[in-house]
């Protein structure tokens, strides 16, 4: 394991305690490490922390959550209903400035763009529609009936302590995980299992953005682990506020064309409520 990976502060950490003039507040590691500070009327500054990287690059879902946090602070509506990120070049650890532009705002919805810059270069561009999810109402229907899987407590941690991201996120796979244990690809481009914050914090809406990029890339079960699957863009739809407890997710790929693929994800909370859907465009590079 490289020294760069070993030198990561507070990998397995308790919730963060912040000292304020009027007392202390406790927040989860994810909330703390996606927090942003207002710099001007249109600019919020975040910080990409250690603990969230895949190799040397911060996880795309984590970066999206930082940008989404800036939008939540900047806009009159608190929650992303649908959010899309294009990853123009890899981000690095350190400060990241979020430049917010409101495109249109109405009573129910605000549309906006946030450009995420490091050292003056746009690294990620996000477009989103923000609403108040708690006020959403209307007819409901789905044919997405999740199959029965082992309970969280009956599953083993997927682990991989050499992968920095897994020190922040607890993934317990129920399907597809044998390839990660040197069992070889299954031929079924799908992973399924449970996802939770490593520090035990309950999930919130912004957690769902990060969890949508937390399961292993499905092409691993086609080509094995000898490759890299960088994200081109990630879209997430939020369908509800998650109940406390781990999130159940499934991520699959159905077509790989000249190295380009889609990844479709569905996510349910601990009570079985559908809370998010995702689609990711990625490239697969096989060594």
Structure confidence by residue, pLDDT tens digits, 5-60:
333 344 445 555 444 445 555 789 999 999 999 999 999 999 999 999 999 999 99
* pLDDT tens per residue, range 138-148: 999 999 877 88
Average the pLDDT over each of 75-84, 119-128, 153-162 and give the range with the smallest value: 153-162
* Residues in CB range of 93: below 8 A, 6 or more apart: 48, 49, 50, 53, 58
Q: What per-residue confidence (pLDDT) applies to 10?
A: 42
Which domains are delineated in the chain? Answer: 24-135+152-286 (2.40.160.210)
Section 222-226 average pLDDT: 88
Share of the chain above pLDDT 70, in %: 90
Mean pLDDT, to the nearest integer, of 126-133?
98
For residue 183, name the pLDDT band (cuts at 50, 70, 90).
confident
* Confidence band of 188 (pLDDT split at 50, 70, 90): very high
Q: What is the pTM of this model?
A: 0.91
- In this predicted structure, what is the pLDDT of residue 65? 99
């Amino acid at each position: 394991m490289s020294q760069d990976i070993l030198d990561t502060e507070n990998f397995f950490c308790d919730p963060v305690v912040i000292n304020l003039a009027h007392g202390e507040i406790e927040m989860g590691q994810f909330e703390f490490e996606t927090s942003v500070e207002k710099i001007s009327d249109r600019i919020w500054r975040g910080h990409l922390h250690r603990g969230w990287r895949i190799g040397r690059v911060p996880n795309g879902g984590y970066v999206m959550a930082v940008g989404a946090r800036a939008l939540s602070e900047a806009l009159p509506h608190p929650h992303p209903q649908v959010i899309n990120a294009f990853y123009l070049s890899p981000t690095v650890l350190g400060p990241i400035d979020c430049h917010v532009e409101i495109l249109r705002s109405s009573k129910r919805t605000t549309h906006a763009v946030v450009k995420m810059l490091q050292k003056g270069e746009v690294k990620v561009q996000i477009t989103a529609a923000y609403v108040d999810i708690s006020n959403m109402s209307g007819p409901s229907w789905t044919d997405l009936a999740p199959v029965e899987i082992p309970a969280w407590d009956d599953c083993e941690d997927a682990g991989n302590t050499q992968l920095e991201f897994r020190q922040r996120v607890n993934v317990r796979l129920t399907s597809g995980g044998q390839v990660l244990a040197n069992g070889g690809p299954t031929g079924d481009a799908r992973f399924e299992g449970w996802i939770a914050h490593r520090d035990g914090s309950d999930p919130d809406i912004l957690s769902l953005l990060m969890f949508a990029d937390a399961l292993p890339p499905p092409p691993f079960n086609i080509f094995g682990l000898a490759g890299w699957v960088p994200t081109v863009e990630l879209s997430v739809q939020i369908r509800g506020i998650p109940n406390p407890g781990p999130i159940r997710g499934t991520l699959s790929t159905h077509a790989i064309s000249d190295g380009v693929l889609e990844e479709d994800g569905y996510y349910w909370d601990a009570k079985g409520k559908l809370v998010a859907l995702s689609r990711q465009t990625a490239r697969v590079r096989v060594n």
